[in-house]
Amino acid sequence: MNQPGRLPRTTRPRRYELLIATDLDASTFSGEVVIALEMTEPTETIVLHSKGLDVVLASLSQGGAPVAADLRIDAEREHIVITAHRALLAGDAVLELQFDGSISPGLLGFYRSTYLDEAGARRVLAATQFEAPHARAAFPCFDEPEFKAIFAITLVVADGMLALSNGPEIDREKLPDGNVRVRFGTTIPMSTYLVAWVVGPLEVTEPVYAGGVAVRVAHVPGRGHLTQFALDVGAFAIEFFADYYGIAYPGTKCDLVALPDFSFGAMENLGCVTFRETRLLVDPDAATLDELSGAALTIVHEIAHMWFGDLVTMKWWNGIWLNEAFATFMEHLGIDAYKPEWKTWDEFALGRAAALDVDALENTRTVEYEVVTPEDADGMFDILTYQKGGSVLRMLERWLGADAFRAGVRHYLSRYQLANTETTDLWDALEEATGKPVRRIMDTWIFQRGFPTVCVDEGRLEQRRFSYASTGHDEQWVLPVLARVHTGEGAETRSLLFDADTVPLDVPDGALVVLNAGGDGFYRVAYPTAWRDRLLDARVLEPLERFALVDDLWASVLADDATATEFLDCARRFAEETDPIVWRVVIGHLRAAARLVAGDALDHMRAEIAAIVRPAMRRLGWDAHLDDERTRQLRGLFVNVLGSTTFDPETIARAREVYEHPEGADADVQAAAIAVVAGNGTADDFERFLARSEETVNPQEQLRYLYSLGDFPSEALVLRAAERALSDEIRAQNGPFVIQRALRNREHGPVVWAFVRDNWERALRRFSPSMIPRLIEGTTWLVEGRVPDDVMAFVTAHPVAAGARTIAQHMERLAVHRAAVARERERFSASLLNAHAP
């Protein structure tokens, strides 16, 4: 039976012979495709996908004999319908189509990208981005993940242009017209969304080898010196995952391609992985730890997909979440092996905290849901897919044990390699390997919205859904809990399966109990105040447990279960903290708490933050000579908050010195200094930021200057930044983030919103639909006066199909923040003013 929105199953592709001829000057392409088909039953029609292409039927044959047929284009459904004049029998058939199309000016399908060469001339290249269903915009195909097939790709390009695709280059022929025909080796059976090619004036490094697999980096000329880090990480990841999965790398080579224009962070095309430049090209000596680890995590994420996603693929787009969640989990597992000193699971906690924040909203969603339309599929690429999905997998792995979890994953990949699966196939494989009720556990996390808070009541644990809204919920989860019990005789970790309304907490009197041991559980803990204080006094909490305690308490403030004064009292206890991940959550929520007050109370709140942070900064000092990377990261965080949030004059002066004379300063302090100067900057500084964002060849440094344009204290300058973001002066992939940052400017966010509202149509024309939610995210703290009502009314009246749910979540977060201000402003202000009364 055919399902709505899906192609008939009467026809299946087995092999594509695809030729694409590209004219970069005219921004057009032409092609032909020969598809070897299997007819699963007699039929007179073949239905496949095409979008925006001029398609001609060249031939249809079966058993070596031609079959007369007609072609009809159904543009609304993005279908081509081939109707044969007689029924095709069950068995093999061959369909040949010819087509023409335009290279897209956007960032999807087969699209155009540009850069300026060293002489200042604009150079043009073209690349593909087919996930979710966009291969149909480049060639006629069966554009659904279940229709796996072998691809033999040939590209015709201008002489001197680099041509890359999924397979290795196996033949190159000069044509009479001066072009070059490049033929690539065949692929394993794979889905259309993983097909890729890149054509243009790029360079490629010499290969390094990982278990016999050639790894190269393709890049804009002049940036070869930024490729070694990616080569090292990529080679490590291939060898690490081949060992972890117990299966050799499924391709024949691995090209990592840095593209000047790219909508996402990266894309896991088999053997031809495409990236934003900032996520691939890195100078380790000039990058902050966040920038360095961000690039490394992205590289490892995409290579993890070569097995989980490419070798084994979901049957339909509803399974996108598992592809991305698993790769999110695996990227941290891989980096933990590559650079254990980075403590990457700490970074993972930040993503988990962000997912908890979204999943506490009424506009959250189940992790997996029914997908019918392309927009439904695009809507899965959000924080719940990546961070909640990855977090519940990490929680499961910690509960099952790392070795047992890996055994289940190996069992799954071995059983289903080259095939397609449903989500439950993984749970069943894990159950078979471990004997634990994995499907029963995971069904409650994947097919149910939200997450629980674990509470203690009269010696028993209770769970209830955590929500920022006051509406009642009665959901229950099968919750794998790790608890650590401290007694006078030592500490013991207990593994519980919390699958009822309540479970007994059988511990000795006076014991200290950590209810999310390790901090890896995707749930919150509501500790009684006395219990929380005892845990902090006893110093028994590990860094991620302290992180979770602080994050849970701030969430309780937003949910009206605790006050901002309680949170500040708790935050003061961390003045002696030394771990960067704990400082990141403390400072992040202190900054949010400062948004709750204004006027004199805000001045006092800034003084409170300075009093907490300044002693720690003085202990560190400004000299990073012998520090490790995480200590340098912490110093950068302190410089940023003291100079940009508390406006400490000494820090601002030192930051400007670093900005003017960066030699000798580490990258984290340099990046922080840029943010501090922007937040206190002049018109001359603004001009220098613009110039430096255009002159530097370091992709990370470019974004430091570019995104800081929204931080300036002048309304006119911030509006200039927003206007520039809507022009060709800033790449369309970066413009939404410039505006997002400007919207977060405490003083000028409202006027930036008015600019966005008045230039909405320009934004829609300029930016990819998937980027509009990123822009709107900047409005979530526009809580003053009538601005939030204006934002919500405008967004409601101007719906965006792509990311509609994400935008609704942003609006709800804005409502949550406004409600927190309404509750807290008077009482928190009074508390701050009384605390500083003479």
Query: CA dihedral defined by 700, 702, 703, 707, rounded to 10 degrees?
Result: 150
- Whether the upstream peptide bond of residue 132 has omega within 30° of 0, thus cis, is yes
Asked if 631 and 624 touch (Cβ cutoff 8 Å), the reply is yes
Within 8 A by CB and 6+ apart from 58, the residues are 32, 96, 97, 98
Q: Has 17 been annotated as catalytic?
A: no
Question: How is 54-107 classified by DSSP, letter by letter?
Answer: EEEEEEEEETTEE--EEEEEETTTTEEEEEEEEEEPSEEEEEEEEEEEE-BSSS
Distance CA 81, CA 79 (A): 6
Helix (H, G, I), strand (E, B) or coil at 366: coil
Distance CA 677, CA 668 (A): 14
**DSSP annotation of 447:** S
Please tell me which residue in 32, 268, 302, 397 is annotated as part of the active site: 302
Type of residue numbered 791 = V
- Give helix 580-594 / helix 629-644 axis angle, nearest 10°: 10
Helix (H, G, I), strand (E, B) or coil at 117: coil
Paired residues of 312 in beta bridges = 308
Distance CA 373, CA 377 (A): 7
Within 8 A by CB and 6+ apart from 774, the residues are 736, 737, 740
Within 8 A by CB and 6+ apart from 8, the residues are 2, 43, 45, 47
Within 8 A by CB and 6+ apart from 369, the residues are 318, 376
Helix H or strand E encompassing 707? helix 699-707
3-state secondary structure 768-783: CHHHHHHHHHHHCCCC
Within 8 A by CB and 6+ apart from 825, the residues are 596, 597, 598, 601
Helix H or strand E encompassing 518? none
The whole-angstrom distance between residue 155's C-alpha and the CA centroid of its chain comes to 31
Phi, psi at 272, each rounded to 5°: -145, 75
3-state secondary structure 204-250: ECCCEEECCEEEEEEECCCCHHHCHHHHHHHHHHHHHHHHHHCCCCC
Asked if 386 and 304 touch (Cβ cutoff 8 Å), the reply is no
Instruction: Enter the tokens of residue 777.
Output: 């995210």
Asked if 554 and 516 touch (Cβ cutoff 8 Å), the reply is no
Radius of gyration of the chain (CA): 28
3-state secondary structure 19-60: EEEEECCCCEEEEEEEEEEEECCCEEEEEEECCCCEEEEEEE
Query: CA dihedral defined by 551, 557, 561, 566, rounded to 10 degrees?
Result: 90
Type of residue numbered 427 = W
Instruction: Enter the tokens of residue 546.
Output: 């302290």
Q: 519-540: string of b/e by CB count within 10 Å (b at 16+)?
A: bbbbbbbbbeeeebebbbeeee
CA angle 321, 326, 328 (to 5 degrees): 95
Phi, psi at 32, each rounded to 5°: -145, 145
Q: Which residue has the tokens 């906690």?
A: 349
List residues with catalytic annotation: 302
